[in-house]
Structure 1
Amino acid sequence: MAGQNLFDTEGITSYYFLLSALLVYLVPATYYKLKPAYSYAKPKNSGQAFIKVCLRKVNYIKAREGSLRTLLYFASLLLLCLTTWKIYKYDTSVAGEDFLFNPYDILGLEMGASTREVKNAYRKLSKLYHPDVHGGDNTTETIFFKIVQAYKALTDEKARENWEKYGHPDGPQAAVSFYAVPQWLVEQENRYIVLGVYFLLFMVLLPFIAASKWWEAGKYISSHKVLRHSVVAFYTYARENMPISELIETLSASLEFASMISLKALEQKSIELIEKSFPQPPDSLKINAAYCRTVRVLLYAYFYRIDLDNIKGLVNPEKLKELQMKIVAKSSDLILHGMLPTLGFGKCYVESTLNCIKLHQMLLQGVHETASPLLMLPHIRKEMLDDRAPPTIAAFVFMSPAEKKSWLNNKNNPLLTSTQFEETCTLSEGMPALLINLKLGLYDNDKVYAESTVSLIVELQRVTTKEHAEIQSRKSSLSPEGCAGAESYVEDRPYKRTKHFGHLSPPVHCPRFPLQKNEGWWALLLKAKDKKLLLPPKRIENLVASTEVLFAFKAPRRPQLHQVEVWIISDSYVMSPQRQSFSYEVVSKKKAPKEAVEEDTEEEKASSSEESALESDSD
């Protein structure tokens, strides 16, 4: 029996549809609402190091979610409660019982009641709910109508049999489905309003949104909303050996900042006051746009870690700090998806590409290019970096606990508590480092022929700085026991190729950067002689434990021993690139001897003559 599609005159089906749609949105939204706003990449035994130094960052991320999203969430919760209440009220009402017609329940009888019992119950209920008794009450009329239906269904033998077998007095029914449309939408008096809304929605608003999206997509070069005009500016100002100061000035020329900055005259004077507080005045501007100076001053104030609240005479410092955070957050996208592709892919400038990556390191960690990498650690301040300070974090990890305490707790530095000292040491030991292994992916008898395609596989394994320091200390030991120990340590942690489907690298410890970032690494392949890029740099975003990077390039024409270098550098932490050289020998492809060719041709002739003889015999 064919089904029927009907309009729900009661309008209750639309509430069920709305309830389902709200649950589809609210279930994942509640999960992410209860989930912590910021996740931390904790090394082993990290304690609370990451959590305590990132409280300000967590608050910024929570505030950045915006009141609009929160308002939408709570409005959906309220609508869910109202919809549930409406459905419950309808299901418990008289109209809701129509969907479950049970004549025995209506008459207050048990299954299998006799005809006499049915008639007695009908007479009793008719006296109670007859419309003449209650003066035409609508509710009473509805109840009385159902009593009459139940009486007819149980006194007619055929109807009673149909209900007991099929659940309906008229026998098996066709499947009925209702359109989930609100009742007011199908009412006759609202037809012109509905048509007008449909026209505005599908003929005006929807085409306008599609055209706007297409127009907006044409302005940007990537999904990170980097303007094409900004990329053109990067390409125009790009050159080899660009220093970081020049890269900052080029970055400040991005048109994204022009719409972001709208400062008054008094606030422009505040920019001058901030610039005067720099330890070293920046170079003179070559790009004279009005907003470029503001961007550059706020970026340098971020790098120098200047607290704007401590500068006297500033007008509206809270607005300047908010603008500074917006500029810093946008600068990361502009560097990764605008400047680096231009310098590394378009121009293939090695030194400029490395400086651009270093600029991104500075941006995430909030340090100046001349500052010590130790400032990435918690509880370390500029005044603590005296002559006894180690130059790098790896050197700090190499120090014994007694040497660390003697440096951190001397008379020139404020004393650190045991908890602060433990957090500093734990975080320094948990900083990432890499173990690099290079090998060739060969398919032709382990030989690299001239002008053939060379596949260089870079195997990367992520370890902590402490583990890397132990490996280096064992390898640098001159005793045979030390070398054996280093080899056994490496064998205990073999390279394992792991597949990560959609997994990103661990989050970066960057409490000063306003957003959450995941670790990023760049792999550069260079010629060993002239230090020129053989291929564009590759960014690694899925280095959780280990991964592979494949470089495929054309082998040189000259058969001899060639050497390349692979540089791996982080764009998240202030550290120098790890370099490893690789040598491979290019050989010329030898031609086959003439005698072998002649033998092959004679064998082919003999085989062809035998085949022709067999064909003639068969004929």
Structure 2
Amino acid sequence: MSFKDTFTKDDQKEGLLGYDDTAFYYFISSVIVSIAIPWTCSMIYNAIFPGQAQVEKDFPTKSKSGSKYRYCASSAMVEKVDQARKRARTGSTGSTVGSAVKLAVLGGMWILLFVIYLQLGDAKEIKRFDPFEILEISPGASAAEVKKAYRKLSLVYHPDKNPDDPLAASRFMQITKAHMALTDETSKANFEKYGNPDGAQVSKLGIGLPPFLLQKENHLMILCLFFFLLLFVVPMAFICYYQRTKNYAANGVMIETLQFMGYYINEATRLKNCPELLAASAESRAMALRPSDNEELKMLGTQVTEHKKRQFKLPIIIKNDYLLMAHMQRLHHLMSPELRADLDELLRHSLKITQAMIEIACMREWFFTAQAMIEFRRSLIQALDVKSSQLLQIPHFNEETLKHCLKGKNATAMLTDYLQKDKDQRKGLSSMTPDQIADVEAFASHCSNMEVKAITEVEDEKEIVVGDIATVTVQLLRKNLHEDEAMGPVHAPLFPEPKFEEWWIFLVEGAPNTRIIGFETQSQSSFRRSESISFDTFSIPFP
């Protein structure tokens, strides 16, 4: 029987296992350190700079490509960003219970590391095979003493007397080899020459299990713990995760909402239908109703202009529909703080839900419906009503200002036309203060000056003829940015979250069907002046 020499430290004569478990403690301490140090640094950073991580997430200074984001410099947007950063810093601590739990777990990890350090501090240097120490005799012991010690220990650690104890079996192997090393001439010569009765050996070190896992009296406890983890903890973790996610699709929208939108959105759905559809979503219906809402909504209801007959009569749908219409008609000053908080929650849901609404229309190839959904999404972000002028996006513009812009020389109704005019030709500024005019200029310089170019071509062909499959590539180039700049969030002071630009490109069949052949969406959060975006190409058969 070959004996693989294992080297051991003496741990109360170890019970007495022939391997060293120090490597296990080094391994487990390395794992804990790799978690504890970054977590501790993160907590210290959050304590010194509270909310900074959330601020960088919502309002990053640089894009992934390294370009510097340009933010709108109007007073409303500067104030919005400052307030959002302040809220992130003051609300960064989270719940007291959650923080206490995290601190307790982290403290426990450091205490465990300290205990392991003490354990490693008591570890002895790995020793070579020593038959005298194994047999518990002195180096000058006689042959009779060696034989007596061997018989004594072999009776205690013989495998037949300890059938379920791997510690005893390992110790018995060492005792046998120690006896051979002192009594057998060949083994004794190998031991004197190589330090091992089997001759020259190669030392092998591995991650040994801690001794308590191999001790017989702990087997039942370890088995129970294993089955507890396998049959309770793992299934419960899976069930909890499933319960949290089973109601949501991959895009983060509730499955019930997708089913609802898929049923009610049709080819005739237009912008005026969208506020009530959003208010009827599952996310909206899950919001709470308060006893005070009825009274607070009465005054709001008298000021809101409804553009269609109401389709749903559920109180929570009516409430949230009023809030959405009041937001689009800029009646925020009539809302109580509670209603404003409800509106902000609903608007946060709206980004994912309206994205799903657009995709439903696109999948069904309804161009005008998709166009209406995109317009509704823009109306929510900019707080514009169904029939509101685009010019109301400009800071300090109101209905009175619009009257001046739509009359006389240089009259303008479209936002793009207004921004392209020289400063001295822009109407509606005569009654504004210098600070207000500066806000208008900041808004104008922040709005995208985009060059759109569509290229239609057939691969390896110079001309397109009937029957060819053409590839359409759309390129976008932003001309209002410097080479090292990227576009920051859009000017949207009444929307609760920062919103980056996005562009929807459609390839549409001509009249009368206007069927969507292909579509692509592109977020411009990292778009720079010097690069153009090539969207996925669309192959279309020419008639």
Equivalent residue for 1:514, pick from 496, 499, 505:
496
Partner deviation per Cα, 1:439-467 (whole Å, 9 max, x = no partner):
22322432334334221111121233x99
**Cα distance in structure 2, aligned partners of 1:63 and 1:223:** 30
- The residue type equivalent to 1:177 in the other structure is I
**Cα distance in structure 1, aligned partners of 2:225 and 2:401:** 68
Aligned pair 1:275/2:301, yes or no?
A: yes
Check 1:463–1:226 CA distance in 2 against 1; reply closer, same or farther (3 A cut). farther
- What does 1:15-414 correspond to in 2, within 5 Å? 15-25=29-39, 34-35=52-53, 36-37=55-56, 38-39=58-59, 50-59=77-86, 67-68=94-95, 76=102, 80=106, 83-84=109-110, 87=113, 96=121, 98=123, 174-175=204-205, 177-179=207-209, 195-211=223-239, 213=241, 219-227=247-255, 229-259=256-286, 261-278=287-304, 280-307=305-332, 310=334, 317-337=336-356, 339-346=357-364, 348-378=365-395, 380-382=396-398, 385-389=401-405, 391-402=413-424, 407-408=428-429, 410=431, 413=432
**Cα distance in structure 2, aligned partners of 1:372 and 1:201:** 62
Identity of aligned residues (%): 13
Q: Does the residue aligned with 2:449 lie in a helix, a strand or coil?
A: strand
**Cα distance in structure 2, aligned partners of 1:31 and 1:205:** 33
Aligned pair 1:553/2:539, yes or no?
A: yes
**Cα distance in structure 2, aligned partners of 1:62 and 1:225:** 28
**Cα distance in structure 1, aligned partners of 2:30 and 2:234:** 27
TM-score (norm 2): 0.66
**Cα distance in structure 1, aligned partners of 2:339 and 2:216:** 58
**Cα distance in structure 1, aligned partners of 2:71 and 2:496:** 26
Gaps of 5+ in 1: 103-161, 163-170, 312-316, 468-492, 494-503, 558-619
Shift of 1:336: 0.2
Check 1:12–1:40 CA distance in 2 against 1; reply closer, same or farther (3 A cut). closer
Q: Does the residue aligned with 2:479 lie in a helix, a strand or coil?
A: strand
- Whether the 8 Å CA contact 2:93–2:99 is kept in 1: the answer is no
**Cα distance in structure 1, aligned partners of 2:373 and 2:383:** 15
**Cα distance in structure 1, aligned partners of 2:234 and 2:375:** 45
What residue number does 2:527 align with?
Answer: 544
Check 1:528–1:381 CA distance in 2 against 1; reply closer, same or farther (3 A cut). same
- The residue type equivalent to 1:17 in the other structure is V
Shift of 1:358: 0.7
**Cα distance in structure 2, aligned partners of 1:205 and 1:45:** 48
**Cα distance in structure 1, aligned partners of 2:369 and 2:416:** 26
**Cα distance in structure 2, aligned partners of 1:9 and 1:43:** 49
**Cα distance in structure 2, aligned partners of 1:400 and 1:297:** 39
RMSD, aligned α-carbons: 4.4
- Whether the 8 Å CA contact 1:448–1:454 is kept in 2: the answer is yes
Partner deviation per Cα, 1:401-456 (whole Å, 9 max, x = no partner):
4566x84352xx5x343xx5434312321212321222223224323343342211
- What does 1:459-608 correspond to in 2, within 5 Å? 459-464=475-480, 506-530=488-512, 532-541=514-523, 544-545=527-528, 546-557=532-543
What residue number does 1:479 align with?
Answer: none
**Cα distance in structure 1, aligned partners of 2:88 and 2:332:** 20
Partner deviation per Cα, 1:458-496 (whole Å, 9 max, x = no partner):
1121233x99xxxxxxxxxxxxxxxxxxxxxxxxx9xxx
What residue number does 1:145 align with?
Answer: none
- The residue type equivalent to 1:54 in the other structure is V
TM-score (norm 1): 0.59
**Cα distance in structure 2, aligned partners of 1:449 and 1:197:** 74
Q: Does the residue aligned with 2:492 lie in a helix, a strand or coil?
A: coil
- Matched length: 436
What residue number does 1:445 align with?
Answer: 461
**Cα distance in structure 1, aligned partners of 2:403 and 2:227:** 75
What residue number does 1:151 align with?
Answer: none
- The residue type equivalent to 1:39 in the other structure is F
- Whether the 8 Å CA contact 2:70–2:488 is kept in 1: the answer is no
**Cα distance in structure 1, aligned partners of 2:277 and 2:403:** 35
Partner deviation per Cα, 1:303-357 (whole Å, 9 max, x = no partner):
222235x45xxxxx443322221111112111102x11211112x2222111100
Shift of 1:286: 1.3
Check 1:82–1:295 CA distance in 2 against 1; reply closer, same or farther (3 A cut). same
Shift of 1:517: 3.1
**Cα distance in structure 1, aligned partners of 2:86 and 2:266:** 40
Gaps of 5+ in 2: 8-18, 62-67, 128-193, 195-200, 406-411
Check 1:447–1:8 CA distance in 2 against 1; reply closer, same or farther (3 A cut). same
Check 1:2–1:52 CA distance in 2 against 1; reply closer, same or farther (3 A cut). farther
Q: Does the residue aligned with 2:534 lie in a helix, a strand or coil?
A: strand
**Cα distance in structure 1, aligned partners of 2:258 and 2:339:** 26
**Cα distance in structure 2, aligned partners of 1:439 and 1:47:** 35
Q: Does the residue aligned with 2:238 lie in a helix, a strand or coil?
A: helix
- Whether the 8 Å CA contact 1:521–1:541 is kept in 2: the answer is yes
What residue number does 2:198 align with?
Answer: none
Check 1:189–1:331 CA distance in 2 against 1; reply closer, same or farther (3 A cut). farther
Q: Does the residue aligned with 1:247 lie in a helix, a strand or coil?
A: helix
- Whether the 8 Å CA contact 1:366–1:512 is kept in 2: the answer is yes
Shift of 1:256: 2.4
